[in-house]
Amino acid sequence: MQFYIKPKQKNEILKTLRGLGESFLKEIEEGKNPSVEVPVRTLRNIKFDPKERKIFLGGYVSKRYFLHLGETRRFTQLAGIASLSKKLIEEDKHVSLREAFYILKRTIPGLKKNIVEEQEESNRAIEDLELVINALREQLHMNANKLGAVAGNVVIKDRGDLIDWSKLGSGGWSVPSNVEDIEFVEVNAKFVIYVEKSAVWERLHEDKVWKKLNCIIVASQGQATRGIRRLLQRINYELGLPIYVLTDFDPWGIYIYSVIKFGSIALAHISDRLAIPQAKFLGLTGDDIKKYGLEKHLIKFKEIDEKRLKQIREYEWFKHNKDWQRQFDLMEKMEAKAELEALAARGITFISEKYLPEKIKNGEFLD
Amino acid sequence: MQFYIKPKQKNEILKTLRGLGESFLKEIEEGKNPSVEVPVRTLRNIKFDPKERKIFLGGYVSKRYFLHLGETRRFTQLAGIASLSKKLIEEDKHVSLREAFYILKRTIPGLKKNIVEEQEESNRAIEDLELVINALREQLHMNANKLGAVAGNVVIKDRGDLIDWSKLGSGGWSVPSNVEDIEFVEVNAKFVIYVEKSAVWERLHEDKVWKKLNCIIVASQGQATRGIRRLLQRINYELGLPIYVLTDFDPWGIYIYSVIKFGSIALAHISDRLAIPQAKFLGLTGDDIKKYGLEKHLIKFKEIDEKRLKQIREYEWFKHNKDWQRQFDLMEKMEAKAELEALAARGITFISEKYLPEKIKNGEFLD
Amino acid sequence: MTEVKEEKTLAEEMGEKIKEISIAEFFEKNKHLLGYENPTKSLLTVVKEFFDNSLDACLEARILPTIKVSIKEVKENVYRIVVEDNGPGLPPDKIPIAFGKFLVGSKFMRLRQNIGTQGIGAKGAILYAQLTTGKPAKITTYFKGKKYEIELSIDVIRNEPKVISRKEEPIEKNLHGLKVEVFVEGRYIEKGQSIPTYLKYIWITNPFTKIVYDGPNSSFTLERVVNELPKEPKEIKPHPYGVELGRLKRMVHMTKSRNVVGFLTSEFSRIGRDSALSICKIAKVDQEKKPSELTDEEIERLHKAMQSVKLMSPPTDCLSALKEEYLAESLKKEFEPEFVVAVVRKPAVYRGYPFQVQVGLAYGGKIQEITQEAILLRFANHTPLLYNQSDCAITRAVEEVDWGNYRLPRNSKGLPPAPLVILVDLISVWIPYKSEGKQAIAEYPEIIKEVKLALQEAGRKLSIYLHKKFVREHLAMRANIFEAYSEVFSEFVSDLTGKPKEYIKNKLIEIIRRGEYKDGEEKKMKEEVIEVK
Amino acid sequence: MTEVKEEKTLAEEMGEKIKEISIAEFFEKNKHLLGYENPTKSLLTVVKEFFDNSLDACLEARILPTIKVSIKEVKENVYRIVVEDNGPGLPPDKIPIAFGKFLVGSKFMRLRQNIGTQGIGAKGAILYAQLTTGKPAKITTYFKGKKYEIELSIDVIRNEPKVISRKEEPIEKNLHGLKVEVFVEGRYIEKGQSIPTYLKYIWITNPFTKIVYDGPNSSFTLERVVNELPKEPKEIKPHPYGVELGRLKRMVHMTKSRNVVGFLTSEFSRIGRDSALSICKIAKVDQEKKPSELTDEEIERLHKAMQSVKLMSPPTDCLSALKEEYLAESLKKEFEPEFVVAVVRKPAVYRGYPFQVQVGLAYGGKIQEITQEAILLRFANHTPLLYNQSDCAITRAVEEVDWGNYRLPRNSKGLPPAPLVILVDLISVWIPYKSEGKQAIAEYPEIIKEVKLALQEAGRKLSIYLHKKFVREHLAMRANIFEAYSEVFSEFVSDLTGKPKEYIKNKLIEIIRRGEYKDGEEKKMKEEVIEVK
């Protein structure tokens, strides 16, 4: 399976969509039951490669049929999304997942039902289509939520505008939900710091970290959006810059890192292919807490934190990793978490002027 | 009471902070109990002016004393925040609320307690200080969360950069949490559309609504952040542009409008003074649902929606407004809400090409 | 010295205070123990006691029962209650002790399934009547061509009947039956834990009974559903596994057998000569010894040995369940459901007592209209239990069943939220009630287990019905559904390929009308997984 | 013709089957009704019955009780139980009926507060013993300078004692007391609903008792906390409000009074001559009529009239609560709390029966170590109730109290999660138990209300304590707190003004040490609001 998907040419995708329709048509004309092959996304088809340390979909596909009571609805939805996607690409328009839902939602004549009743259904159909034609939903012109900002010595081209990420004042460039079409015009940075909190991003931005360390700083709020993940992936694969992930020292922060690096484990779904196996963890560690004297600034674990820690340390990709297990042990022993903002207790600009430069210089990453 | 606070000069604020400290010192030197007057924020001091239709704080202040068991802690925290704020302004640094918390959090010698234990405490101290010295927290260099994007025919200057909001590709400018220091250099727009969802912002942006209608489009996600609200206020007061608020037809959307227009009703707190009384409601109405045939795309009310509707229609500023009560009646009758995305069912660009131009042209605002 | 004297006087004084009270006096003071706790329940209890007696009498005499119940308010909160049956009646000279003396009965020590067993119920009702209204009970019996009317009350102090009047008059020779009339204080209700409910429910488990009810606000007649009595339950001897040491001792001293082997084989069920000999051997007791000469130690050893030998379970012809179809039939009559099933389990044993469980489930139909939660009807020996539902082994068993397994809404706590009537009837020679009120059954694991097994068996049958119903409705819907989806699917394929929608649609409908896609095939298709590397 | 004959034979046949059974036989078969439901509870019940008897006897004789309980396992699951008291003993000739015949007792119809009243408990224990181990009970009494040892069992069929042996030997003249020894099957546990728990709890409400316990695994002695018996409860006559019509009729026929007025004034409490006359007037009954000549209608009218006249509540000297300080004292001894309060309510009336509630609360101290949820101890007439807690009027009342009102953690459901022992003791001449097992009290509104009032009164006292504790700790902390905060506050003011921190701090500490800021003053300051336009 291919891991990184290059931005496809629109024509290429249009061709695939048309091909899908034609395969249905052929079966119908031959008097057969229209069918489609969808890669299986159950656990048994999710693989982890311990050497390469990546999650990927195995080779199982399941064949679905239109004339099957349990599948006819989902099959129809898949075709509906394919049809919508074709229209969008042709008209060069994008829709949000919610809009796609409303567009597909209409009554099926003769049934007291709509083609989709809940957004979950259209979302699932989009995921199905991603798998069937091996494209990202963004390439199908369906966007998730937009969130997050970026700054750094980079000039891009987007919708005809030249945008200089170093000249956007305190705000930065607002990362769109779809980054498929942006072009990197000039890149003058050595790596990327992704931080899980926009407040910390503002700290780094105010302290001109991207200028001093010659890097790009990116943030969203909490779990990285698809737009951000795709942006990071494109920078990593196309520009070859390392991605450093800066999070709190807690199970949630580490899971944010894990998703960027390995992909999400929500039952195998194309977003796993947004993974960036080369990403490195630059966030707080148990050792940092001692080193920078943050012991007084820990937040006691709640039950849910403990539970999450237990889960996360059992993930295949952490389970056999001694470094990470050591961190989990430290966390378990402390029964507490540490936030990036706690570094402010050591000085307002401590994170920018001491913590980050030192860690990066010494290569204190976790992998 | 003054409603709109002009960006204050840094020196002015520094002077006020120093003055606060000196008033404490004077009392101490006179052998008195150090005291401070804080405007009362309980309900009885929240006023609504039915003519001007705005919420404001009445003239009650309560006198607080340092040597009072119930107040000494909060008093100390107030002084702590004042001291931090002075330092930040002098060094021209900003911190997030979370950072402020960690900076203030340290052990009080002789007590098994920190100056602040929870972020709520430092937040409250910041609110207290805002009231005491009549400044916004952003002017005290303490920022809330950053969220949201803006686009339009506007050029601003921020941290020395000239930023053109019309030339930022699909992303737009990421609005910082603190907009006190931005300067409007060139403004070529007639009004502002604030929309409660970033997905809809992307729709409008893709459809070049800001270009076609000659306006500015702003979005955050859900309730507007303080940065956004302040930005809207500054545009409204300083540039004189009307603000139109585009939300779903449900109690939550209407409350988003209400906060932008009248201020938040969370117990009287300086953010009420972020209000924009001239803001108008451009969101979906009960009439739009009929007019644009959205009846099939309603979402049934849950109990919590009904409850919220009951609350909101009783607010002083809606209670005596016939237009709004009519909308609430419609909503109550439908027992359902309508989302902006539902307009996509009538065509992908329907919202941009038909709905907005028509409503704006016909002046179909609610006030 | 004086102190000592005083103490002794005290002991004697206390000794002198000791006196016997009668069981009637005891129950008079503790009437709540018999179900006379509040006016509503008391009224129900009075009717129940007489009704149960009538039903028992008819069954004993193998007569198809016809029982009339009349309740009239004579003044505020005072009711005249009459219960009349077509049973065998009683000889007039037996009436006084049968109705006027506690702990007198015909069924106390018999090991056979009966409703009443304790010789308390009817007397309690009469006692309650005289306590609240002061009026004696009037018992009428039709006996040997005469009608006897006897008015009596209970002499509480002596626990003896007091006959107040006795009339007789000639009647037709072949009339028979018994009638009881009392006046009681109480409160009458029509719904819920009420007399009409009681009568309707008892009729379900005794569908060979005709009930004529004439109440204060309503009258009804419940006709016989079945014209056949259930098989007559037999009396059995105690089973060795259920006998306590103390009781064994007493049996040893009362037996007429001349040796131990004879004693064991004749006084117990399921002990044959071989078992008896091996019991003696294990107990190291001389098999020829006269029972009355056994020492305490020997009896103890015998008792232990009896528990240790392997014996057959007690005979179960002492129990008389309904035929499954009769139970189903009466449930159908009462609730008009769309589906009904009855299951009668094989008898099982608890502490040496045989017992048996019969259950019925009625689903859907008119039940939908009544409620959204399942209705539970509890019975013991075919008699409804209306109170203390939450505290009963039957309820516990019903709640422990996972109804979700049977295509019903899953019950997280309590009963499933389905249009369902659940009937459970526990039949035994000895029902372990939690109190004399006889409204709840003790939570013995053996009983809970049997009830659950019965319900699960019935549940499986209901599940089969529900599945068939589903498939039936399903197949009819199938073609419709495919054609409906084809409408939009064709449109989408048309969008993707440019071919006209109608063309595609017609082709699809052809395929559908060929109807080659069966359920089994579909399943297979669904599981078809192809490995592509 | 043949059919008719058969029917008649049937009626006669059924008549012939009727026979009397004894109350002993009844309880043998229904032993679970007396608390013999399972081995653990049975063992406890045996001890409880004998212990309660001993305690009652001592109280009756006004002797400070010393009661010894010994339990030894003689073989697996068989225990020898001995309960011995220093009470008055019983004359040897009374022993057989006092211990070997059901429904014999000295206290049954007396309206006075007693633990046992039904003449059942001790016999039930002996019956259970002989049923499970076949061994007779051995009763020893010290009487008039002799020690009598009587072995007896119960003839179940006849409900009569059967004396097996009788020994006597001379002893010291002033020895007195009674000892009971039985062998029973059962299971012994040490914690929870166990015999040691029972003894510890009964000692709390009877702190004038010395208890010597010698168990299978542990021994302990609970010494008297108080050397004074509570006042002796008096026997009272029935109150007219609590008398049923049937009972009135019986009283009318048994009275020795020669006229109605005499009857009313002498047989009831709270009817004086005036009340009696007005009852006769309302009832339209000739006041001079001989009671035995009253017609049923007249008695009925009298009964009604008695309910309608205004009468004083029944006298309450039939009840004997503990002194509050004694109750508090024994709670303190048992639980070592930091605070304890006892409240004894005035007597109240339920259905003509006087009753009284005493409660105790013990808070903090060692209790913290035991549990995080409040412990509830329920008592009826000073006897602990260990089973069926969830089903009891006392529990309901405790849960209905909003403990949050008394500076305790608020209870949303159930008991408050506080280091608290809640003791509730219901005292009455007639406790409305839910069953003979005597473990739960029926939920009469009058009882629930009184218990709640008592708990609320105690709660208020606890609340005052908790408040004082808070203030005490608070004042001590005050100066410290101000000085600590001054440290950082001075630093901040120094930051803002540039003055040296130490200078500011020293000035502040001066102000604090002047100590002019009292709590009251603070409050006033807090409310000070200045209007500024």
- In tens, the pLDDT along B99-129 reads 889 889 888 888 888 899 888 899 989 988 9
The answer, yes or no, to whether residue C102 has pLDDT greater than 90, is no
Binary contact (C88, D10; C-beta < 8 A): yes
Binary contact (C517, A33; C-beta < 8 A): yes
Chain D residues within an 8 Å CB radius of B66? 485, 489
Same structural domain, D259 and D382: no
Kindly report the nearest CA distance between residue A70 and chain B, in angstroms: 25
Q: What is the mean pLDDT of chain C?
A: 85
The answer, yes or no, to whether residue C350 has pLDDT greater than 90, is no
Residues 81-140 of D with CB under 8 A from C: 88-91, 93-94, 97-98, 101, 103-109, 118-119, 127, 130-135
The answer, yes or no, to whether residue D532 has pLDDT greater than 60, is no
Q: For the domain made up of B149-362, give the CATH fold.
A: Dna Topoisomerase Vi A Subunit; Chain: A, domain 2 (3.40.1360)
CATH of the domain at C328: 3.30.230.10
Same structural domain, C190 and C253: no
Total domains in chain C come to 3
Instruction: Collapse the DSSP code of A120 into the 3-class scheme (helix H, G, I; strand E, B; otherwise coil) and give the result.
Output: helix
Q: Verify C-B touch: 3 or more CB pairs within 8 A.
A: no
How far is C462 from D521, CA to CA, in rounded Å?
76
Same structural domain, C302 and C265: yes
Whether A31 and C511 have beta carbons less than 8 Å apart is answered as: yes
Which residue in D348, D345, D273 sits closest to D314, CA to CA? D348
CATH code: domain B10-143 is 1.10.10.10
CATH of the domain at D250: 1.10.8.50
Kindly report the nearest CA distance between residue D496 and chain B, in angstroms: 5
Same structural domain, C174 and C269: no
> What value does the mean pLDDT take over residues B9-28?
91
Asked, for residue D105, whether it belongs to a domain, the answer is: yes
What does the pLDDT look like over B26-59, one tens digit per residue?
A: 999 988 889 998 877 766 676 666 666 666 667 7
The answer, yes or no, to whether residue C207 has pLDDT greater than 50, is yes
Could you list the residue range(s) of the whole structural domain that residue C377 is in? 324-460
Binary contact (C493, A87; C-beta < 8 A): no
What does the pLDDT look like over D311-320, one tens digit per residue?
A: 888 887 888 8
Kindly report the nearest CA distance between residue A171 and chain B, in angstroms: 4
- Worst-scoring range by mean pLDDT, A248-252, C30-34, D104-108, D151-155? D104-108
Asked, for residue C378, whether it belongs to a domain, the answer is: yes
| Residue C522 binned pLDDT confidence (cut-offs 50, 70, 90) | very low
Residue D347 DSSP code: P
Residues 52-81 of A with CB under 8 A from B: none
Structure token pair of residue D330: 């024994």
| Residue B268 binned pLDDT confidence (cut-offs 50, 70, 90) | very low
What is the pLDDT, as a whole number, of residue C408? Answer: 86
The answer, yes or no, to whether residue C523 has pLDDT greater than 60, is no
- Long-range contacts: A350-358, Cβ < 8 Å, 24+? A350/A292, A351/A200, A351/A203, A351/A204, A351/A207, A352/A203, A352/A204, A352/A207, A352/A208, A352/A209, A352/A212, A353/A207, A355/A288, A355/A292, A356/A193, A356/A204, A356/A209, A356/A213, A356/A246, A356/A282, A357/A212, A357/A213
Same structural domain, D292 and D376: no
| Residue C1 binned pLDDT confidence (cut-offs 50, 70, 90) | very low
Highest mean pLDDT among B4-13, B218-227, B279-288, D100-109: B279-288
Residues 280-339 of B with CB under 8 A from A: 296-297, 339
The answer, yes or no, to whether residue D209 has pLDDT greater than 90, is yes
Nearest CA in chain D to B64: D526
Counting residues of chain D whose pLDDT is more than 70, the rounded percentage is 89
Asked, for residue D13, whether it belongs to a domain, the answer is: no
Structure token pair of residue A93: 């328009």
| Residue D178 binned pLDDT confidence (cut-offs 50, 70, 90) | very high
Binary contact (D25, C57; C-beta < 8 A): no
What is the pLDDT, as a whole number, of residue B250? Answer: 93
Which residue in A24, A234, A20, A250 sits closest to A132, CA to CA? A20
User: Which residues of chain A register pLDDT less than 50?
Assistant: 1-2, 267-269, 271
The answer, yes or no, to whether residue C528 has pLDDT greater than 60, is no
What is the pLDDT, as a whole number, of residue B272? Answer: 53
Chain C residues within an 8 Å CB radius of D11? 61, 88-91, 141, 143, 176
Chain B residues within an 8 Å CB radius of D495? 21, 83, 86-87
Counting residues of chain D whose pLDDT is more than 90, the rounded percentage is 40
Q: Between D175 and C198, name the one with better pLDDT.
A: C198
- For C260, what's the count of Cα atoms within 13 Å in the CB-facing half-sphere? 26
The answer, yes or no, to whether residue C395 has pLDDT greater than 60, is yes
Q: What is the mean pLDDT of chain D?
A: 85
Asked, for residue D508, whether it belongs to a domain, the answer is: no
Burial A8-41 (b: 16+ CB within 10 A, else e): beeeebbebbbebbebbbebbeeeebbbbbbbbb
Which residue in D302, A97, A339 sits closest to B102, CA to CA? A339
Give the contacts of A30 (CB within 8 A, at least 6 positions apart). none
Same structural domain, D333 and D415: yes
Q: To which H or E segment does residue C306 belong?
A: helix C296-308
What is the pLDDT, as a whole number, of residue A256? Answer: 92
Q: At what angle do helices B251-262 and B226-234 cross, to 10 degrees?
A: 50
> What value does the mean pLDDT take over residues D297-303?
89
Asked, for residue C356, whether it belongs to a domain, the answer is: yes
The answer, yes or no, to whether residue D43 has pLDDT greater than 90, is yes
Which residue in D336, D348, D341 sits closest to D449, CA to CA? D348
Asked, for residue C94, whether it belongs to a domain, the answer is: yes
| Residue D8 binned pLDDT confidence (cut-offs 50, 70, 90) | low
| Residue C520 binned pLDDT confidence (cut-offs 50, 70, 90) | very low
- Long-range contacts: A15-19, Cβ < 8 Å, 24+? A16/A133, A16/A134, A16/A135, A17/A82, A17/A85, A17/A86, A17/A89, A17/A133, A17/C496, A18/A86, A18/C496, A18/C497
What does the pLDDT look like over B148-175, one tens digit per residue?
A: 899 999 999 998 999 999 999 999 999 9
Which residue in C162, C89, C106, C56 sits closest to D19, CA to CA? C106
What is the pLDDT, as a whole number, of residue B267? Answer: 41
Same structural domain, C281 and C350: no
Strands A191-195 and A243-246: parallel
What is the pLDDT, as a whole number, of residue D35? Answer: 81
| Residue D115 binned pLDDT confidence (cut-offs 50, 70, 90) | low
| Residue B265 binned pLDDT confidence (cut-offs 50, 70, 90) | low
- Check CB contact of A117 with chain C, cutoff 8 Å: no
Alpha-carbon distances of B346 from A99, A106, B172, C263, C489, rounded to whole Å: 10, 11, 27, 95, 20
CATH of the domain at D190: 3.30.565.10
| Residue B284 binned pLDDT confidence (cut-offs 50, 70, 90) | very high
What is the pLDDT, as a whole number, of residue C532? Answer: 44
Alpha-carbon distances of C472 from C63, C368, C469, rounded to whole Å: 45, 21, 5
Kindly report the nearest CA distance between residue A246 and chain B, in angstroms: 16
Same structural domain, C102 and C137: yes
Asked, for residue C155, whether it belongs to a domain, the answer is: yes
What is the pLDDT, as a whole number, of residue A285? Answer: 95
Nearest CA in chain D to C61: D10
Choice among A4, A60, A65, A102 that is catalytic: A102
Which among A20, A59, A70 is the nearest to C526, CB-wise? A70
Same structural domain, C68 and C215: yes
Which among D482, D493, D514 is the nearest to B24, CB-wise? D493
What is the pLDDT, as a whole number, of residue C356? Answer: 92
Residues 8-67 of B with CB under 8 A from D: 17-18, 20-22, 24-25, 28-29, 31-34, 37, 40, 59-67
The answer, yes or no, to whether residue D522 has pLDDT greater than 50, is no
| Residue C36 binned pLDDT confidence (cut-offs 50, 70, 90) | confident
B53 CB burial (10 A radius; 0-12, 13-18, 19+): middle
Give the contacts of A351 (CB within 8 A, at least 6 positions apart). A200, A203, A204, A207, A340, A343, A344
- Check CB contact of A161 with chain B, cutoff 8 Å: yes
Which among C480, C489, C530 is the nearest to A66, CB-wise? C489
Q: Between D380 and C6, name the one with better pLDDT.
A: D380
- Where do the structural domains in chain B lie, given as residue ranges? 10-143, 149-362
What is the pLDDT, as a whole number, of residue B2? Answer: 42
Binary contact (B159, A181; C-beta < 8 A): no
Same structural domain, D340 and D379: yes
The answer, yes or no, to whether residue C271 has pLDDT greater than 80, is yes
Chain C residues within an 8 Å CB radius of A69? 474, 478, 481, 519, 522
| Residue C521 binned pLDDT confidence (cut-offs 50, 70, 90) | very low
- Check CB contact of C156 with chain D, cutoff 8 Å: yes
Which residue in B344, B291, B281, B338 sits closest to B352, CA to CA? B344
Residues 292-331 of C with CB under 8 A from D: 296, 299-300, 303
Kindly report the nearest CA distance between residue D501 and chain B, in angstroms: 11
Binary contact (C493, A73; C-beta < 8 A): no
- Worst-scoring range by mean pLDDT, C156-160, C163-167, C397-401, D127-131? C156-160
What is the pLDDT, as a whole number, of residue C314? Answer: 81
Kindly report the nearest CA distance between residue A32 and chain B, in angstroms: 33
The answer, yes or no, to whether residue C223 has pLDDT greater than 50, is yes
Same structural domain, D358 and D294: no
The answer, yes or no, to whether residue C11 has pLDDT greater than 80, is no
What is the pLDDT, as a whole number, of residue D526? Answer: 45
What is the pLDDT, as a whole number, of residue C516? Answer: 58
Kindly report the nearest CA distance between residue C316 and chain D, in angstroms: 21
Q: In the block, which residue shows the tokens 């012109």?
A: A141
Which among B33, B70, B76 is the nearest to D489, CB-wise? B76
A292: annotated active-site residue: no
Chain B residues within an 8 Å CB radius of D517? 33, 65, 67-68
How far is B76 from B82, CA to CA, in rounded Å?
10
- Check CB contact of B136 with chain D, cutoff 8 Å: no
Same structural domain, D214 and D91: yes
Mutate one of D7, D59, D162 to test the C interface: name it (highest C CB count within 10 A): D7
Question: Which stretches within D35-152 are classed as H helix?
Answer: 39-60, 95-100, 121-132
Chain A residues within an 8 Å CB radius of C497? 18, 21-22, 24-25
